[in-house]
Amino acid sequence: MHEQALAEGIVRWAIEAALGRGGSRVKLLEIRYALGHVDPDSLRMLLEAAALGTPAEGAELRLEGFLTRHTCLACGKEFQAPRQGSPECPRCSSPALAADARPEVYLEALEYE
């Protein structure tokens, strides 16, 4: 499962970052995810499962969705993509789009002690 690998990678990176900076446990993970591309409930469950038995177990999880931005390659219009379905340009209806560079899921902030 794609989201499981993302969750495991985020937890692993957070633990390595906390321990590498002298921390002993992860207190908070702030995570951003693309609306319409990632199910936040599943992501939360997978993050909690990945943290079990690790220094990240019990960490507060703050998840916040964002709309993906696109640029139409035909007319140059910039717009936010809808939450569902394949977007097309609202100005010229072209499906030829360039999405912003943010990944579907990423760690925005980390707190540890």
Confidence at residue 13, expressed as pLDDT on a 0 to 100 scale: 96
In angstroms, rounded to a whole number, what is the distance separating the alpha carbons of residues 113 and 28? 10
pLDDT bracket for residue 1 (50, 70, 90): low
Helix 2-20 vs helix 40-51: crossing angle, to nearest 10: 50
- Token pair 């220094």: residue: 55
Confidence at residue 84, expressed as pLDDT on a 0 to 100 scale: 64
Q: Which two tokens stand for residue 16?
A: 């390595």
Task: Read off the pTM.
Answer: 0.80
Confidence at residue 16, expressed as pLDDT on a 0 to 100 scale: 97
Confidence at residue 85, expressed as pLDDT on a 0 to 100 scale: 66
* pLDDT tens track for 16-49: 999 999 999 999 999 999 887 889 999 999 999 9
- Who has greater pLDDT, 85 or 96? 96
Ramachandran category for residue 22: left, alpha or beta (phi over 0 → left; psi -120 to 50 → alpha): left
* pLDDT tens track for 42-84: 999 999 999 999 999 999 999 999 988 899 999 999 998 766 6
Question: In this structure, are residues 8 and 38 in contact, taking their beta carbons and an 8 Å threshold?
Answer: no
